[in-house]
Amino acid sequence: MSDIILNTPLDKKQLQSLKIGDKVMLSGIIYTARDAAHKRLVALLEKGEELPFALSGSVIYYAGPSPTPPGKVIGSVGPTTSGRMDDYTPVLQEAGLAATIGKGKRNQAVIDSCVANKAVYFAALGGAAALMAQCVKEAEVIAWPELGAEAVRRLRVENMPLIVINDTTGDDLYVKAIKVV
C-alpha cells in the first residue's frame, strides 16, 4: 500500500476516507502548540477573541522545537505526549481544527470529538526529532514568543511521515494493535 498524500488545509471529506494504520505524507502549513499555548488558545475562543491562526482545516503538531542551529530552519522537533492536550482538543476541534499530531494515546473525549467533528489524530515518529526537522522547510513564531519552545509556530512542511491513530469513525490503532498482539 502506498502512502496517502495530504496537503493542508485539510478537507473533512478527505479525512473521512482515512483509516487507522494509514501511512500519510503531509505537506503544507501546520502549527506547533503545546500545553501553555493550548490554554491560551482555548481562553481566546471562550472570550470570542481572534486566534493567531485560522482553525478551519488546520493541523496542530504537539511539539516544542529545540533551539535552531546556525544555517538550519528549525532545531529538532519531535512530538510530545498528546494526552497533555486532551482537555483542550475537543474545544479546538469544535472550532474547526482538522487534525493533531503527537505521540501516545488520547482519552475517550478526544476520540469522541474526532467522530463528532470529523477530525483525525496522527502519530509522528517519536525519538526521531532530527528526522522530523528535515521535513520543515520554513518556521516562524506567530504567537506568544515569551513561551520559548512552547510558542506557537507556523511551519511549512514537506512529506512529513505520519500514521493515523484515531480516525473519524472512532477507531483507535493502539486498541486494535493490542488486540492483535
Of the candidates 1, 26, 41, the residue with the CA atom closest to the CA atom of residue 79: 26
Task: Enter the C-alpha cell of residue 163.
Answer: 500514521
Distance between CA atoms of residues 74 and 136, nearest Å: 7
3-state secondary structure 67-130: CCCCCCCCCCCCECEHHHHCCCHHHHHHCCCCEEEEECCCCHHHHHHHHHHCCEEEECCCCCHH
Clarify whether 5 is annotated catalytic: no
Say how many Å lie between the first and final Cα of the chain, rounded.
Answer: 22
Name the active-site residue from 34, 38, 106, 118. 38
Report the alpha-carbon distance of residue 7 to residue 99 in Å, rounded: 12
Cell 501546520 sits on residue:
30
Which residues belong to the active site? 38
